[in-house]
Chains A and B, each alone.
Chain A
Amino acid sequence: MSGRVLVGVKRVIDYAVKIRVKPDNTGVVTDGVKHSMNPFCEIAVEEAVKLKEKKLIKEVVAVSCGPQQAQETIRTALAMGADRGIHVEVAGKDYETLGPLQVSKILAALAKKEDAQLIILGKQAIDDDCNQTGQMTAALLDWPQGTFASEVSLEGDKVKVVREIDGGLETIKINTPAVVTADLRLNTPRYATLPNIMKAKKKKIANVKPADLGVDLTSRLEVLRVDEPPQRQAGMKGSTELSRRDS
């Protein structure tokens, strides 16, 4: 086994920012707004680095698809302990229509190229909430998938994944190579310390274009309109008689 883990990291608007819709309703305001790594991607990176620290895998490669700024997100992954990065350059119109289908095609191509043993992704991104990339990637590669993982352990050439599902927890064992998506309780991501950030400057980030991977980025989706959610209306005070009767 190559011992190489691919981790996908996405640059999204920071979770603490108050989102505003653009006046022309084509999207949300991103200019000058604080961006950071998707929280679930942080958990994915943390898991990969933990596996490396336990010496169960040999190399962690962080991948991000997007414009120049995506490199910041890769650098954060490097500062958390990833060994090297791959920046898939997607900009302009292509970036606006970049969605799970396109990203999973890219990840599938990279996984083959890098001979990855494991792909760890966040379960979903906090900007589009799609929850599709992991599943699509596994399908394209015809690999098993362990999604919504709250526990991951490598046992020989198999992976044991405890999944958080509606009914509770489900434990499955899947063959490698496999795709795992991280859920909230998988781990607590470490802070990228400043000394590590300085060290990460020396780590390499390779630049790749989607065309080099033979990936077609055309989207089958068209965004028609983006609106703010309706304003919360005031609630109604129920009568006390009713509540007493029910209890």
Chain B
Amino acid sequence: MNVNRFIVLSKSIQIGKRLLACHVRHAGKEVPHFQQQRSIKTNSRNLAYAKDLFLGQVNKAEVFPFPEIGNEEVEEINQLVAPVEKFFNEEVDSARIDREAKIPPETLNGLKELGLFGIMIPEEYGGLGLSNTMYARLAEIISLDGSIAVTLAAHQAIGLKGILIAGNEAQKQKYLPKLASGEHIAAFCLTEPGSGSDAASIQTRATLSEDGKHYLINGSKIWISNGGMADIMTVFARTEVIEDGVKKDKISAFIVERAFGGITSGKPEDKLGIRGSNTCEVSFDNVPVPLENVIGEIGGGFKIAMNILNSGRFSMGSSSAGMIKKLIEMTSEYAATRKQFNKSLSEFGMIQEKFALMALNAFVMESMAYLTAGMMDRPGLPDCSIEAAMVKVFSSEGGWICVSEALQVLGGLGYTKNYPYERYVRDCRILPIFEGTNEILRMYIALTGMQYAGKVLTGKIKEMKKGNIGLVLGMAGKKLRTTFGGSVDLGLTGKDGVVHPSLAESTKKLEQNVSFFGSTVESLLYRYGKTIVDEQLILKRVADVLINLYAMTAVLSRASRSISIGLRNHDHEVLLANTFCGDAFFKNNYMMTQLQKYSPENNDANIKKIARAVLENRAYICSHPLERTY
């Protein structure tokens, strides 16, 4: 390997600055001594598990054993779940909410009284003070109605999160109590007509007033959930800051009360799904915001926005899982009783496949969601933003496929409004779009990991240049082993293994995938260097492989624990885990093969050609098949 070239390219890796600007505390300083990477926090954030997969390593301690919560907490969760389930079964008329495109005030009041508006707000401010794991558990039930789920999430997972994670004591004391009780509803105002995925390009401005005591906010935001009824909004606007004597335009976060005046909400958007959730335009016309309502530092708004969004994503895993579990119950009733060709539907292979698909998806989503939540609940506040993003991508797409298949089981009946399946399909369509489109999240997942890998590899190169012979031999040996297809052992199975023997085969597949992935990432970094940012089709595969690896890790960890402690139906879990891993193993290998140099399986060049032709002409360009030339 060309050592010098590698140093040059990895030093110049300034990956997706716009995308990741907030996340990187710039590595402009020395590349850290890589052995001490974990203890020194001067450089990258304390990233959790996924980053090491990019190096072909499995960080066992982070994910094995599967996170457990204390007995008392389990009892508490069960206690909390019961009344919420009861409420949703008895008092929530989802069909009516969908039809009338609003949540009836009695239902909203019931939710407030149950305490669901302040799930993660600490008890001292009037909330329930529950952990991420408990929030995920409640999300399983709340997702039974999409509109309610989005209203609650917009309020607490993003709307008031800024105050929670970055607000000062005075702001918390002032705003959190009423937000916890639901007296005030919160909204998150970032997106603008010209700035969706490209959040850093927002144009709303906050200028200092003449007396210097207020900021005046001007601009308009769109797609704001709860925009029509929110009393407290977290608004992001550009402010002028002076950095090192230079005037710069940076984004800041503000707590804005509707009572400040100057705020108008447009009419509610007529949406395909989650129709009961209020979504509208919000315009700000010289809205005066007192200086003490700035969240965090002036100029630090973008980072706060990203932290807020990153912290709420993981719950999509458990809410999708909860919804799929409900769908399995409903559709299996039908499949068992409906007969055609003198057999009940449940005896036909293609129908059985759909149920297996739903069960597998629910299993993986649950495992990923609770693994991530468990990691996030660990002391030390590990940064699980990549893991949360992976959960979101997998769950949104898996959920979409499963609701579609569930509707298919019902056939024509599923297509009518008499049954809730079409509503589930409509409600689910938003999942891959909001909270960060899946396209953006795939870029984030892939690039953050590759940046980390790049840095570590640079560190190793430097070491070798210093003459660390042991390291050189180690790396050379590893290269030889993988080239000659030796067996991979990352320490997950065997004597010091962390998985149960019945999962050993699947774990070996995971280890093989991880090792292949590590070397694939390395070769990609060599091949492309910093231009990898523009290779979206490559990054998409990298992200997809990583998501599969994380999913495999989650199911193996969970199934291992279930067997070890003897949970009911643990052999079914082993079956699900092995099935998923077997499938994912082949898919990963295929994708990674496509990523190798000059891979014949890779059609990207052709795909780009086709796309270019179509987009240039803004139409389908083939001549009609019936046309003649003579």
Contacts and interface: CB of A to CB of B under 8 A. Distances in A.
Interface in A57-108: 72, 75-76, 79
B384 interface: no
B300 interface: no
Interface stretch (B38-46, B77-85, B611-619): B77-85
A194 B75 contact: no
A178 to B, nearest CB: 31
A192 B87 CA distance: 10
B65 interface: no
B89 interface: yes
A232 to B, nearest CB: 14
A194 B76 contact: no
Contacts of B82: 36, 76, 192
Contacts of B79: 72, 75-76, 79, 197
Interface string B101-132: 00000000010011110010001000011000
A194 B152 CA distance: 15
Contacts of B417: none
B76 A201 contact: yes
A36 to B, nearest CB: 6
B115 A194 contact: yes
Given A32-B568, A72-B75, A194 B86 contact: no
Contacts of A197: 76, 79-80, 83
B535 to A, nearest CB: 48
A193 B114 contact: yes
Interface string B49-87: 000000000000000000000000001101110111011
Interface in A179-236: 191-195, 197-198, 201
Nearest to B116: A194
Given A32-B568, A72-B75, A72-B78, A198 B123 contact: yes
Contacts of B78: 72
Question: Which size bracket describes the interface of B in this complex?
Answer: 20 to 34
A122 B220 CA distance: 58
B114 A194 contact: yes
A191 B75 contact: no
Interface in B81-100: 82-84, 86-87, 89
Question: Which size bracket describes the interface of A in this complex?
Answer: 10 to 19
A31 B569 CA distance: 12
Nearest to A200: B79
Contact of A191 (B114, B119, B123, B129): B114
A16 interface: yes
Nearest to B115: A194
A173 B119 CA distance: 46
Nearest to A71: B75
Interface string B533-576: 00000000000000000000000000000000000100000000
A194 B110 contact: no
Contact of A192 (B75, B83, B128, B129): B83
Contacts of A76: 79, 82
B86 A191 contact: yes
Contacts of A32: 568
A130 B82 CA distance: 26
Interface in B116-163: 116, 119, 123, 128-129
Nearest to A192: B83
A31 B129 CA distance: 32
Interface-centre pick from B78, B87, B113 (highest chain A CB count, 10 A) = B113
A201 B78 CA distance: 13
Contact of A195 (B87, B89, B115): B115
Nearest to B128: A194
Given A76-B79, A198-B128, A193 B86 contact: no
Given A192-B82, A194-B83, 19 more contacts: A72-B79, A75-B79, A79-B79, A191-B86, A191-B110, A191-B114, A192-B83, A193-B113, A193-B114, A193-B115, A194-B80, A194-B116, A194-B119, A194-B128, A197-B76, A197-B79, A197-B83, A198-B128, A201-B76
Interface of A: 16, 31-32, 36, 72, 75-76, 79, 191-195, 197-198, 201
24 contacts: A16-B89, A75-B79, A76-B79, A76-B82, A79-B79, A79-B83, A191-B83, A191-B86, A191-B87, A191-B110, A191-B114, A192-B83, A193-B83, A193-B114, A194-B83, A194-B84, A194-B128, A195-B115, A197-B76, A197-B80, A197-B83, A198-B128, A198-B129, A201-B76
> Which 9 residue pairs spanning A and B have beta carbons closest together?
A194-B115, A195-B115, A192-B83, A191-B83, A193-B114, A197-B79, A193-B115, A32-B568, A193-B113
